[in-house]
Amino acid sequence: MLKRFAYHGVTASNLDRSVAFYQDLMHMKLERTYEVAGEALEEATGFPGAHIKVAVLSFRGHHLKLIQYLSPEGKKNFEANPYDVGYSHVAIRVDNVQEAYDELRAKGVKFMSPPVHPIPEKPEIIFTYFFDPDGLIVEVLHTINHLARTVSAEDRALAFYRDTLGLKELFIRVLRGKGIEEGMRVPGVDLRAYHMGLDGDESVELFYFLHPKGKQRHELRLCDVGCSYVAFDVDDVQQAYEEFHAKGVKFISRPTHLIAERPEVTMVYMLDPDSYVVELRCGGAPFR
């Protein structure tokens, strides 16, 4: 049903500021900016009077969509611990994590820690987290682009992403010990990380924390800063909607043509078991 990853989306408080950050510091390419308002957006998001500004950036085939809600205004401050349901972060693959850390730190970017090796027996695995202008966490690593999200129940999350959506378990990691504690700034952290994907180039990383336990309920709305979603291309959104709806998947709306001048583009938002948003879309590249 799912053909490929389209992009990862994140709600930001100030689009121009975030675009400048990702362009200038992360060397991302700005592909397109546009605004959307009207009945289709209201239906898709569930917000009367919805009005958004959007920017699509790319980096080595990975696409990041930044969205600022002009209406309604959501929460401006993102406050979530990695072990809270509702926490997510975008992870971007680079050739050399240490060099990326040195370059960004020299430009004033704030990091959670220097690069760490979370798995002692696999010293080739290295990552670090930094903060974007909204305080959202971005990971740089050398393995695979992904969107991480903390889930409340691993069996339920796996059933959705694997059995319902059809993603594969690319790999699973048990993360505990000094390296991951330093990298996340979470003492005593013990978690399982499931990378779910289609072809190994992109993934959704499901964090299931055995310790510590945080909030078990996702409280962010699409208009709240820090709300994130993953988008997949499908051949036929209406057919996918009907099949997933028949399987009991919850949707925000029926499929809609969000952008009036691009009637060939159809999309719909669905919700995973923890109310994280997943978008299904068809009709062209995200920046055309």
The residues that bridge with 67 in the sheet, in sequence order, are 11, 54
Q: What is the C-alpha to C-alpha distance for residues 232 and 245, in angstroms, rounded to an integer?
A: 16
**Residue-level pLDDT at 285:** 63
CB count within 10 Å of CB 71 equals 15
**Residue-level pLDDT at 286:** 57
Which of 26-40, 207-221, 251-265 has the least mean pLDDT? 251-265
CB count within 10 Å of CB 243 equals 14
Which residue type does 38 have?
Answer: G
**Residue-level pLDDT at 264:** 78
Q: What is the C-alpha to C-alpha distance for residues 93 and 201, in angstroms, rounded to an integer?
A: 10
**Secondary-structure class of domain 1-288 per CATH:** alpha beta
Which residue type does 260 have?
Answer: A
Query: Which band of pLDDT confidence, cut at 50, 70 and 90, is reported for residue 288?
Result: very low
Mean pLDDT of the 240-269 span: 89
SS3 category, 151: coil
Name the average pLDDT for the chain. Answer: 92
Q: Give tens-digit pLDDT for 82-103.
A: 999 999 999 999 999 999 999 9
Query: Which band of pLDDT confidence, cut at 50, 70 and 90, is reported for residue 77?
Result: confident
Query: Which band of pLDDT confidence, cut at 50, 70 and 90, is reported for residue 6?
Result: very high
The residues that bridge with 130 in the sheet, in sequence order, are 111, 138
Q: What is the C-alpha to C-alpha distance for residues 182 and 184, in angstroms, rounded to an integer?
A: 6
Which of 194-208, 221-235, 273-287 has the least mean pLDDT? 273-287
Q: Give tens-digit pLDDT for 136-163.
A: 999 999 888 999 999 999 999 999 999 9
CB count within 10 Å of CB 196 equals 23
**Residue-level pLDDT at 265:** 84
Give me 222's structure tokens.
């699409």
How is 266-282 classified by DSSP, letter by letter?
A: EEEEEE-TT--EEEEEE
Which residue type does 207 have?
Answer: F
